[in-house]
Amino acid sequence: MKKSRSWLLRLIMLLAMVGLFACSQETPVEKTKAAAASGNAATQAAGQAAVDAIKTPMDQARQAENTLENSAEQTAAKIEEAMP
């Protein structure tokens, strides 16, 4: 008798777990609606973050390039002055 109760209890627990898991699933229509509602703002924020992440190092690289170019021009001018 205890084996049958144990089996019955396990079966009920398994069905309850499957039922809870199935209830938490979203339908494709619900997923689409949720994505459309939050997608635009999230996409724009992520896009802007990506642009900022690229823009800042590029600006720093341009500044370094300008500094090196100016230094090279000054060195070339000094060399020309030193040559007779």
Can you give the pLDDT at residue 53? Answer: 86
Can you give the pLDDT at residue 45? Answer: 82
Can you give the pLDDT at residue 73? Answer: 92
Give the pTM. Answer: 0.41
CA distance 1 to 9: 12
Can you give the pLDDT at residue 26? Answer: 61
Q: What angle do CA 52, 55, 59 make, to 5 degrees?
A: 140
Delimit the domains of the chain by residue range: 56-84
Q: What is the pLDDT confidence band of residue 69, given thresholds at 50, 70 and 90?
A: very high
Which positions ≥6 away from 34 have C-beta within 8 Å?
A: 26
Better-predicted residue by pLDDT, 41 or 63: 63
Which helix (H) or strand (E) segment is 55 a member of? helix 28-82
